[in-house]
Amino acid sequence: MRLEEYCDRSLMGSILRAFMDIMGFTLFRLPRGCPLQQRSLASLQILSILIVLAIGILLSHHAEGYVLEGVSWPSGSVVTFQMGLGPAGRTLIDGNTSWNTAASPALTAWDNVVARLDYTSNVASTSASSGDHVNTVVFSTTVFGQKFGTGTLAVTYYRSMNKSIVEADILFNKNQQFDSYRGPLRYGSSGWAIGDIRRVFIHELGHALGLDHPDQHGQHVDAIMNSVTSNRETLSADDTAGAQSMYGAPTPTPTPTPTPTPNPSGSHLGNISTRMNVGSGNNVMIAGFIVWGSQSKTILVRALGPTLGSYGVANVLSDPMLELHASSGATIATNDDWQTGSQASQISSSGYAPSNSNEPALIATLAAGSYTAIVRGYNNSTGIGLVEVYELDTLSSRLSNISTRGQVGTDQSVVIAGLIIDGSTSKKLIIRALGPSLAAPPFSLSGTLSDPVLELHDSSGNLLASNDDWGIGTQAAAISSSGYSPRNAKESAIIATLPTGNYTAIIRGVNNSTGLALVDAYDLDP
């Protein structure tokens, strides 16, 4: 068994420890207990940025590359982790309320760069037990009875036979401070970094692959696999190269033969909106939309709450806040009250200014791609809110999809999605209502709507179509061949060719059931 630790101590003690590592020494070395089955433990620590800078001054900056542990999973392994981190008990910085949900994207990060191994996960309420051939991810106060090193954030404890890994347990130190956030390290009142659960999990999953700490082997490289948590939150080229040296690189998708860009159809989605109950944590309103085409598109996004009260809606969101994010998660813009932002005059002249000063709005010119608007209540307030996206230009690029995730209630708290089709011809769409799919990876959400029902209405309120389970309706074959069929048989979908005008999709639960759901609409025309 090898125990590697990098501890928080005084500044001089930490620098001395760093020099010991760089010289090739190990703080503790224990004898191997069994020649056939080896057990290894690797750890990630918190270290003051001051120490990192001090070491940086004293060391050369020669980059040499990744370091391997000498063990790996057999080629073609599907490694399933039992995610037992549980609920956070509060709303984390990134809006999550579940440690499992916050950490899970780390699995995909490694999965996307290797060919001969798949990382998967299940949500489980379980404790870790070494030697049971179950790969467990939990918070723990000890490492199977051993104390965590001072400043240790997490450890990966793996077992191997004949240089093949047979089990890997990842234990997060329950005594450390964790949150979930993107961007540079954040620091607590003590002056020490707050552990970002996702970047720590990415690091530990690297150990589970068979990667070691480069910085503890006389090397100075930019890598998430270094033993000290840092501002790096994603895999570096060095991390990727190390993983691919063991498991190969994915086969690149062949570049398709270029074809002429089709002329856009004579109609398009000119406005997309969703009304639902806005909660906190995982129950905030999350609206995604896609800008399609070769040109940028200028849009206005707004979030309404108080205005809905004038239409007879009760329990409205009194003070909504709006965020606009790129597909990478980077924040493009935020707004609380539209009149106080720098875009107030533009919003006013657009014709889509909210009628209440507590409601937010944003104008943005966006390149083709996927975007997300998040609506939450000020000070975690809750209530019924509405998010809308409007086109502000007439360029050939267009809105081609909207998807909104939130809580489906009953009565006025059902989810209502609105669509406006502009142009001179009809538009073919598929509209879906998803619930059970959200409980499966990569979402792994709890409290999902078990059986959503979907209705499509015209502007007069007339019912145009309805569906409960997509696979048993008359459109099952068409939905399947569209490429957008829901993953779960209990989910709903409707394909419709609609003339220009206003339309509404309503999502509710069978027998007035409630839960987290997603409604989306895709443009099926070229």
Whether domain 267-523 has CATH 2.60.120.380: yes
pLDDT score, position 6? 29
pLDDT score, position 260? 39
Is residue 380 within 8 Å of residue 471, measured between CB atoms?
Answer: no
Regions of the chain short of the pLDDT cut 70? 1-64, 251-272, 400-401, 526
Task: Give the CATH fold of the 77-247 domain.
Answer: Collagenase (Catalytic Domain) (3.40.390)
Report the amino acid identity of residue 167.
E
Residue extents of the structural domains in the chain: 77-247, 267-523
Instruction: Tell me how far apart the alpha carbons of residues 30 and 267 are, in angstroms, rounded to a whole number.
Output: 71
Task: Give, as one character, the DSSP assignment of residue 329.
Answer: S
Neighbouring CB atoms inside 10 A of 457's CB total: 18
Whose CA is closest to 440, among 76, 94, 100, 179?
Answer: 100
pLDDT score, position 174? 94
312: left (phi over 0), alpha (psi -120 to 50) or beta: left
pLDDT score, position 466? 93
Instruction: Tell me how far apart the alpha carbons of residues 45 and 195 are, in angstroms, rounded to a whole number.
Output: 9
| Residues 310, 316, 317, 323, Cα dihedral to 10° | -70
Is residue 279 within 8 Å of residue 446, measured between CB atoms?
Answer: no
pLDDT score, position 291? 85
Surface-to-core class of residue 272, CB atoms within 10 Å of its CB (0-12 exposed, 13-18 middle, 19+ buried): buried
pLDDT tens per residue across span 271-327: 567 777 888 887 888 888 888 888 898 999 999 999 888 878 888 999 999 999 988
Instruction: Tell me how far apart the alpha carbons of residues 220 and 63 are, in angstroms, rounded to a whole number.
Output: 5
pLDDT score, position 42? 60
Instruction: Tell me how far apart the alpha carbons of residues 526 and 492 are, in angstroms, rounded to a whole number.
Output: 24
For the entire predicted model, the pTM comes to 0.47
